[in-house]
Amino acid sequence: MNWPNKITIFRLITVPLIIALLICSYYLTGDQFFIIKNNYKLPIFTLTAGILFIIASLSDFLDGYIARKYNIVTDFGKFLDPIADKFLVNSVLILFAWNQMIPVWVTLIFILRDIFVDFIRMMLAKNNVTLAAGIWGKLKTVFQMIGLSLLFFVSYKFFADYPQEYGWFNQVTLSPVYLGVFFSLYSGVDYFIKAAPTLFPHHKTKGIK
């Protein structure tokens, strides 16, 4: 097994650990489970989960870079890598929404957009057409990863002075996530437009570039 695939498997293994740590942070509420400084109260389990999430997110860029640089892209890697990515991100999105750290609609947009794009990709594959992700999809991933990483450490939940879910502080900390939502929707529409000539061959549309 080559190194990119090993890194992908490592990322997949971190997901249940992150899930377990976040669930523990929601239910273990004694002061011994927190880092406390003035009005800042960060669960130790959330801190650990956040560090793991950042490492796992960076590994996504690392395995792709190594695979392309050394020309060791495999069918196994192409199959497993997006599964690991979605498992990682969607698990955190769902748990953050459950704990009211992000709005539920944000989680729904991200997940439904991925289902929509995956369906289009599957339909294209039936026609032996491959459509790579564009710059907008990559920007979605970047802002999504940055936004979620920040929330492990600076969510309004961790500050006694900002207890409101829709207060200004929370909206500022959510701004990278909101940018991710914008690029998620834009990239989904862009992907559909580029795939339309193959999906609807009887209509006059521009070909895939």
Asked which of 99, 121, 139 is the last residue of a domain, the reply is 99
What is d(CA 164, CA 127) in angstroms, rounded to the nearest whole number?
A: 50
- 158's tokens: 């961790």
Q: How many domains does the chain have?
A: 2
Beta-strand relationship, 40-43 and 34-37: antiparallel
75 is in which domain, residue-wise?
Answer: 1-99
Asked which of 73, 99, 125 is the last residue of a domain, the reply is 99
Same domain, residue pair 90 and 172: no
pLDDT, tens only, 122-175 = 999 888 888 887 899 999 999 999 999 999 999 888 887 665 666 778 888 999
pLDDT, tens only, 42-65 = 999 999 999 999 999 999 899 888
Asked which of 43, 75, 99 is the last residue of a domain, the reply is 99
Beta bridge partners of 36: 41
HSE, side-chain direction, 13 A CA sphere, residue 92: 27
DSSP letter string, 109-144: HHHHHHHHHHHHHHHHHHTT------HHHHHHHHHH
Same domain, residue pair 106 and 208: yes
Same domain, residue pair 65 and 117: no
CATH number, position 92: 1.20.120.1760
Helix axes 104-126, 75-98, angle to 10 degrees: 160
Residue 59, SS3 per DSSP: helix
User: Is residue 194 pLDDT above 70, yes or no?
Assistant: yes
Same domain, residue pair 91 and 117: no
Task: Kindly state the percentage of the chain with pLDDT values over 70.
Answer: 94
Same domain, residue pair 95 and 138: no
Same domain, residue pair 79 and 5: yes
The CB density around residue 90, as the number of other CB atoms within 10 Å, is: 15
> Which amino acid is residue 164, in one-letter code?
Q
User: Is residue 208 pLDDT above 50, yes or no?
Assistant: no
Same domain, residue pair 71 and 141: no
Write down the mean pLDDT value for the chain.
Answer: 89
